[in-house]
A and B are shown apart, each in its own frame.
Chain A
Amino acid sequence: MRNAWLVARREFTENVHTKGFWLGVVTTPLLLLLAVNAQRWLDSSTPTRAFVVVDPQGLYVEAIDAAIERLHQREVLRAFGEYVSKHAVGGQVPSAVDLEDTPAVDVDKLIEQYSDANPAAVDAFVTKGGVTMALAMIKGQLKPDAPAFEEPRRSFVRVQLPAEIDAEAGTAEVAEALRPWLRGDRPISSGEQEYELFAAVVVPPGVVEHVIRPGGIPSQPSTEQSVQFWAANLADTDLASEVERAMNDAQQRAEFARLDVDEATVRAAQGTSVPLVKLNPTKAAGREQVSMADQIRQWAPAGFVYLLWISIFAIASMLLNNTIEEKSNRLVEVLLSSITPWELMTGKLAGIAGAGLTMVGSWLLALVGVLWWQAGPQAEFARSLLEVVTGSGLLPAFVIYFLLGYLLYGSIFLALGSICNTLKEAQNMMQPVMLVMIVPLLTMVFIPKDPNGTLARVMSWIPLYTPFVMMNRAAASPPAIDLYGTSILLALSVVFTLWLAGRIFSVGILRTGQPPRLVELFRWLTRTDAAA
């Protein structure tokens, strides 16, 4: 026991001192942080995009300006929500605000509505006085050390056409004249600022005649007849879609007038909907409503399966490499003159499990930490995910399946390592094992769709797959027989595999030359005179 502990401690220390270990510990949280924040960082690193609208008749330019402004106000509202949750006392704005003369708008509610990207909320926010009003409303609730609110940078700004270009010159000419700016050869200035021209919207005079209407004879207007959106950057489509939406809106409004339809009536009609709730029959009465957390709960296990798979095989491979190292430099002989093969094997299993658990533990901590840090009232996804990760039995299930799965695969890898002399030999032997191992990764995506179906149930009862498939099914409350039965079977298989691996290990570890054939392996297992 003491010797196994000594071996385990050495394995642990050695593995914890490798660069790979620290890379593993550090990169995963970084990646996670990156994934959660990628959108925001990308947004803040994107420069303000400048664009020009060439619309001599003034058909759409107002609509576009309004749309761009609304886009900006949406950003402001979002930033304001974050500001409030960070710096207001209690993180929430009290719904009763003691300001007699402010319009009766509940900022809290506004923010909440915003989560559903409700344009009405944005409009209300703007008409009621925008961020100035909102700031006045929450003044009393801010923490004393709160910094001033900073309005987010505008994503898009419309600039004037360069003076030397005549807007009336005709579509082709204007577009041609704009090329040097659009290619980034010349900067365009607006007030004090200089920008690189990101895009140009060129509205040809006769475009109204070519508006596409349903029911008409389908015809494809030519490039000259269409509104032209010029931009060298094809990847960033936000502006293009915003402009398109604004113009369509404006055109549709004009259409209502042309057809003599009351716009307000149509909008009101469009706003009607049938109430629909999604309910989950497996949940307690009164709590059946399907929330975002429920949906995440359905899919989160797949994430855990992936994590489980990666960690088990990363760590079991460490075991394999390490056994081969000891074997190829004959350190085992010294070890085995001091301790029994069984002590050596359990020590290695435990030591590397320790190193592995430390790494996986740091990942889980990072996951919960990042989510906790990100989970404000605005980040419903992060909040729900956090709730699922910490609140359901997923974490304990993960730890249990990790340990059992690791012991199962770890002992197989140890036995493999003990009969190979070089890493190359081991890689050849690993190929069939890899084929078997890849299956739960392939089924990972299908199982949540039918978590208690035949495929899932059958695979659950194969001990090699039990940890992964049961983890996959963890959210779907599998029948008790599956839950406990497979775990017991898995635990028994672990004991059996450990015994088997112990036999192979004690003979194989001192063997040199060709790896044994299957017949030979069988003889080792059944023979009684193998070194104990």
Chain B
Amino acid sequence: MEEPALVLEDLRKTFGSFTAVHGVSLTVPRGSVYGFLGPNGAGKTTTIRMALSIYQPTSGSIRILGKSSALEVRNRIGYLPEERGLYKKMRARDIIAYFASLKGMTAAAARQRADELLERYGLAEFASYRCEALSKGMGQKVQVLATIAHAPEFVILDEPFSGLDPVNQQVLEDLIDDLRREGTTIIFSTHIMEHAERLCDRLVLIAKGRAVFDGTLAEARRLIPRRILLRTSGGPERLREVPGVVGIERLADDQFELTLTEDGEPDAVLAACFQNGLPLLAFDRSEPTLRDVFLRLVGPEEAAEVLA
């Protein structure tokens, strides 16, 4: 089996007396879409910068695309930093071609690729606009294209969705989807849980410089008990006998929350409702959201900062 795209082991970074990252370990398998989730200042960007050898870690080890330093595999990586900037005076196509050529593409190939990408993501007519004439969202798209122009096998996007309107967010999601289909490994950091939910195969939750969870979405969901929301005019007490149900809590007059074990079957609960002739007003068996997972893992105060 191929080595993972990125393996971080007990990575630590201190700036003077301040510790930004306390021993983060994680593994990003090849071809996966991997989410970095966490509040601002949690250490996401610092971790990414260390992975890219922009910062030297204080301690810990890095394996990226099989090498110990990103500098050795620079041309196979694409990186979009959190803060956005383009050369104001350069034309959109030139800037994409420039970054691609810095990654080792020949000038001609880089130009051709720039035109191709602009065409594909609906920016063809802006190809010869200077960056200062582009809108913010447009500039951001250009920057994303510049990141992937050299067809990297590993793409790292730091907060790619921030500042984009819903339409452009969708364009970016499609782009990530395209990359995934082509087999690119993608890391993106975000604090928008819905994006992570829709796009990620695996994710890591970082809070206060520590990785509090690293695994698949399903694993994340399993961290918190499954719940069913019931609205009924009758008494749901007898549902306790259904295997897997571990608790029933009355939320309001006719609202109850059932807690299930990991392998508890919501269908069995529903069947039991009918058997017992329970008059159902509502039966909501929604999966726990990442939001819930997040809340549980980092605590309400930290979460409020992110989810607000």
Name which of B74-82, B162-170, B208-216, B272-280 contacts chain A: B74-82
Closest residue of B by beta carbon distance from A527:
B56
B59-84 interface (Cβ within 8 A of A) = 70-71, 74-75, 77, 79-84
Cross-chain contact of A329 among B71, B85, B89 (Cβ < 8 A): B85
| In the complex with contacts A6-B101, A14-B90, A18-B89, A337-B74 CB distance below 8 A | yes
CB atoms of B89 and A337 under 8 A apart: no
| In the complex with contacts A3-B102, A531-B56, A334-B89 CB distance below 8 A | no
Closest residue of A by beta carbon distance from B147:
A334
B35-71 interface (Cβ within 8 A of A) = 49, 52-56, 70-71
**CA distance in complex: A510, B85 (Å):** 14
Check: B146 CB closer than 8 A to any chain A CB. Answer: yes
| In the complex with contacts A14-B89, A336-B54, A337-B74, A330-B102 CB distance below 8 A | no
**CA distance in complex: A10, B91 (Å):** 12
Check: B86 CB closer than 8 A to any chain A CB. Answer: yes
**CA distance in complex: A328, B84 (Å):** 10
- Which has the most chain A C-beta neighbours within 10 Å: B75, B81, B147? B81
Chain A residues in 8 Å Cβ range of B98: 6, 10
CB atoms of B87 and A337 under 8 A apart: no
- Which has the most chain B C-beta neighbours within 10 Å: A7, A18, A326, A531? A531
Closest residue of B by beta carbon distance from A337:
B79
Chain A residues in 8 Å Cβ range of B82: 330
Check: A117 CB closer than 8 A to any chain B CB. Answer: no
CB atoms of B89 and A338 under 8 A apart: no
**CA distance in complex: A18, B98 (Å):** 19
| In the complex with contacts A336-B54, A337-B52, A337-B74, A14-B102 CB distance below 8 A | no
**CA distance in complex: A339, B74 (Å):** 8
User: How many Å from the CB of A322 to the closest CB on chain B?
Assistant: 10
Cross-chain contact of A333 among B79, B87, B90, B146 (Cβ < 8 A): B79
| In the complex with contacts A14-B90, A334-B99, A338-B99, A531-B53 CB distance below 8 A | yes
Chain A residues in 8 Å Cβ range of B147: 334
CB atoms of A17 and B89 under 8 A apart: yes
Chain B residues in 8 Å Cβ range of A185: none
User: How many Å from the CB of A114 to the closest CB on chain B?
Assistant: 55
User: How many Å from the CB of A443 to the closest CB on chain B?
Assistant: 39
User: How many Å from the CB of A387 to the closest CB on chain B?
Assistant: 43
| In the complex with contacts A329-B85, A340-B71, A334-B55 CB distance below 8 A | no
Cross-chain contact of B55 among A3, A10, A330, A531 (Cβ < 8 A): A531
User: How many Å from the CB of B6 to the closest CB on chain A?
Assistant: 14
Check: B231 CB closer than 8 A to any chain A CB. Answer: no
Chain B residues in 8 Å Cβ range of A510: 49, 54-55
Check: A430 CB closer than 8 A to any chain B CB. Answer: no
**CA distance in complex: A276, B121 (Å):** 84
User: How many Å from the CB of B78 to the closest CB on chain A?
Assistant: 8
Check: B141 CB closer than 8 A to any chain A CB. Answer: no
Closest residue of A by beta carbon distance from B75:
A338
19 pairs, CB–CB < 8 Å, chain A vs chain B: A6-B102, A10-B90, A14-B87, A18-B89, A326-B85, A329-B84, A329-B86, A330-B84, A331-B85, A333-B49, A333-B54, A333-B79, A333-B81, A334-B147, A337-B54, A338-B102, A339-B102, A340-B71, A510-B54
Interface residues of A (CB under 8 A from B): 3, 6-7, 10, 14, 17-18, 325-326, 328-331, 333-340, 510, 529-531
